[in-house]
Structure 1
Amino acid sequence: MSRPWWRHPSRALLVALAMLPGLIGDSAQAQPSEREARERLDAIGSEIQALSRRLGQTRQAQDEASRELREVETALAETHRRLDAIQADRRRLADEIAALESARDALREERAEQVEALDVQLDALYRLGLTPQLKLLLNQDDPARLDRLQTYLNHLARARNERLDEIARLDVELSENRRELQARGERMDALADELATRSSELTERMAERERLVAELDARYSDEQSRLARLDRDRTEAEQVLERVREELARLERPPPSTAIERTRGDLPWPVQGNVASGYRRDDGVHYNGILIEAREGTPVEAVHAGRVVFSDWMRGFGNLLILDHGDNIMTLYAHLQHFSVEVGEAVSRGDAIGTVGNSGGHTTSALYFEVRRNGDPIDPQAWIARR
């Protein structure tokens, strides 16, 4: 791929030297002195050196911008992950509060029933008078009847005490229920505050990301230079993937088989959406896989059981996750908004492993998906089910 002459300092020097006769003049009317010619040559050499420095600084600036983009997108991923966790906590707390409120209503109803039953017992005792035992002693009546009345009184007394104990227990449970509800409410308020803070932080980070992406894009004068950068990114990624494959190959025991070969042609799609670019039909980092358009934040699912062997930000790919499925088969998921699993974690088919994003400086939300055997890319659409 050819570059403009001014991007090659050596060529620039040759061009400058070729221009020198014109600069110092061919005409006999304007013949500069030897000193003036040397000064002009020195000036041209200085310009070439400055140009070379600017080109180096541009590459350095691109690397610096990429580093900043990595930091921002990594922070964005953590913010998104935390927002999802907060929302999950809020849903869980809302369910717990609903359960506590239902339990509170049941306790109140049960307490009301116990109080009502106690009122009935107290009314029965009241009808017997303030001192029913004394009346029984003074009333010389049938002894059998006296025994029955005494048994009845004893039963009422036990029942009254049981009701009182039950009411006391219910009061304790209601008090504990109120404390639990208050604690859950305070936790919900704290989560709401954190959600607002994280949302504000997310807005700032996204604005910072847009600035960095625009800055990176502005450094490339044309589509050709942009594609050259993407090719470099892909080359760097290939080196990382090769290291991952080598590390797996060096294991004393190879990763266990998940029989993924048997599911070839029947794997589920990692996310539903239109294919924006097919296998080997695009340039740059998307050359070895497919790009599936999907709404940002859409869950990405593992297409088969496996283990996470890589989850990190990579230039060009953004947040990249790699699953090893055994039998020298790996699947790659890139441009993720954030990860839902960690390195070393085992996943099953259909498990959420992240969400769709546009990390890596990508301008639209989409999932980049690859399948590799022995480290070499193969057509993903030969593995996932037709639709």
Structure 2
Amino acid sequence: MIRALSSRLGYARSKRDAAQEKLRATELAIGRLATEFRRIENGLRKQQKQLASLRRERDEKTAALVAQREALARQIRFSYAMGRQDYLKIFLNQENPYELARVLTYYGYFNRARAERIEATRQDLARLDVLEGAIDQETTALQGLKQAKEKVRGNLKALLDRRRRVLAKLAKEITRDDQRLARLKQNKDRLEKLITGIRRKLKSFDHHKSFRGLKGELEWPTVGPLLNRFGAKRDPGGMRWQGVRIAARSGRPVRAISRGRVVFADWLRGFGLLLIIDHGDGYMSLYGHNQSLYKQSEDWVESGDIIASVGNSGGNAENSLYFEIRHQGHPQDPAIWCK
């Protein structure tokens, strides 16, 4: 009987691990697609801006061409009114040498102005041809980006549906409070083990300003209300929050609170897509449940750099950012550090 029970427990544990691994693979894929979606949207905005600029220039050149043609038409009419006289006729018809000089000077100016008008018109026509070609190219590129966006959107929807099925399966396997408590403790232990391993491998680096001196001056990593207080109970078993959750819409930027080096950027059970920054002097900041990660391990970041986007990875039902600050591995109250 004991052997049969152990076998069933082992099978159930194996199923849970397989579901968690499926969740990990799915959320990593969602993160990659969300990043690609963001890249395409940025490209779309850039292409639309470029297209609008080209169209404005085309309209300006068209208006200038109309003005050039009208001015040229006036010059031609004036030339016709003068009887299309050449220099010899003008010379023979003038008795006063001063008047002759004045007329010849004006006639030369008039001819140069007409030639310049003709050349300007020719250049405007050539520029319009170039602009029309550029507009066609930008329009084609824009259509391509829109098609790519729709394809990524469809793939993203399919992955989100798959994630919902995985979460529903996991929810059925964790029904009792003691099971939930055990899972929370396991998640906490995994994070502690990860941070301990990171701290052992850390190398010191030069920093412009001690992180310690930034207490009370830091900006929050994203905008939104706090869903819990640091140190508050998070379950009947007595576990307490070691960080805070910040409610925010999916995809909202997550920013580094200070200069530092990324020491972890990957999926961790219970925390989803997690990014950890080492700020020196034993200080770290942690950002969990992200939708996408925009930085990799060993990347350097500055205060305010966008490092991730808000999500619900790690099996969360609602979108939020999980945020911690630690010193020598010990959690600190973010509300004391951030203004």
With normalisation by structure 2, the TM-score equals 0.90
1:122 aligns with 2:76: yes
From 256, 260, 267, the counterpart of 2:207: 256
How far off its partner does 1:355 sit? 1.8
How far off its partner does 1:237 sit? 2.3
Higher relative contact order (CA 8 A, sep 6+): 2
* Separation of aligned partners in 2, 1:358 and 1:319: 9
Other-structure match for 2:310: 356
Other-structure match for 1:269: 220
One-letter amino acid matched to 2:225: N
Other-structure match for 1:282: 234
Native 8 Å contact 1:257 1:326 kept in 2? no
Q: Gapped runs of 5+ residues in structure 1? A: 1-11, 14-47
How far off its partner does 1:76 sit? 0.8
* Separation of aligned partners in 2, 1:348 and 1:182: 40
Q: 1:34-83 CA distances to partner (integer Å, 9 max, x unpaired)?
A: xxxxxxxxxxxxxx34x433322222222221111111111111121222
Change (3 A) 1:275 1:145: closer
How far off its partner does 1:309 sit? 2.2
1:175 aligns with 2:129: yes
How far off its partner does 1:143 sit? 4.7
Q: 1:76-126 CA distances to partner (integer Å, 9 max, x unpaired)?
A: 111212222222222222222222222222212222222222222212221
The percent identity for this pair of structures is 34
From 318, 328, 332, the counterpart of 2:272: 318
Question: Residues 127-206 of structure 1: matches in 2 within 5 Å?
Answer: 127-133=81-87, 135-136=89-90, 139=93, 141-206=95-160
Change (3 A) 1:173 1:342: farther
Other-structure match for 1:20: none
Native 8 Å contact 1:258 1:306 kept in 2? no
* Separation of aligned partners in 2, 1:193 and 1:107: 32
**For the pair shown, which has the larger CA radius of gyration, 1 or 2?**
1
How far off its partner does 1:316 sit? 0.9
Alignment: residue pair count? 336
Native 8 Å contact 1:255 1:325 kept in 2? no
Question: Residues 41-56 of structure 1: matches in 2 within 5 Å?
Answer: 48-49=3-4, 51-56=5-10
One-letter amino acid matched to 1:355: S
* Separation of aligned partners in 2, 1:292 and 1:320: 15
Change (3 A) 1:326 1:257: farther
Change (3 A) 1:168 1:378: same
1:86 aligns with 2:40: yes
* Separation of aligned partners in 1, 2:109 and 2:46: 46
Q: 1:253-297 CA distances to partner (integer Å, 9 max, x unpaired)?
A: 435253221221332222333332333322599742122222222
What secondary structure is seen at the aligned counterpart in 2 of 1:169? helix
One-letter amino acid matched to 1:201: N
* Separation of aligned partners in 2, 1:151 and 1:343: 75
* Separation of aligned partners in 2, 1:296 and 1:229: 25
Change (3 A) 1:343 1:173: farther
One-letter amino acid matched to 2:46: R
Native 8 Å contact 1:286 1:368 kept in 2? no
* Separation of aligned partners in 2, 1:115 and 1:265: 67
1:242 aligns with 2:193: no
Other-structure match for 2:301: 347
1:338 aligns with 2:289: no
Structure 1 range deviating more: 177-186 or 375-384: 375-384
Native 8 Å contact 1:257 1:325 kept in 2? no
1:378 aligns with 2:332: yes
Native 8 Å contact 1:79 1:202 kept in 2? yes
1:99 aligns with 2:50: no
Native 8 Å contact 1:258 1:325 kept in 2? no
* Separation of aligned partners in 2, 1:56 and 1:255: 49
Other-structure match for 1:300: 254
* Separation of aligned partners in 2, 1:239 and 1:67: 19
How far off its partner does 1:340 sit? 3.2
* Separation of aligned partners in 1, 2:51 and 2:240: 47
Change (3 A) 1:273 1:147: closer
* Separation of aligned partners in 1, 2:278 and 2:77: 76
Other-structure match for 1:5: none
Native 8 Å contact 1:258 1:326 kept in 2? no
Change (3 A) 1:278 1:149: same
Other-structure match for 1:28: none
One-letter amino acid matched to 1:237: L
One-letter amino acid matched to 2:215: R
How far off its partner does 1:208 sit? 0.3
Change (3 A) 1:140 1:355: closer
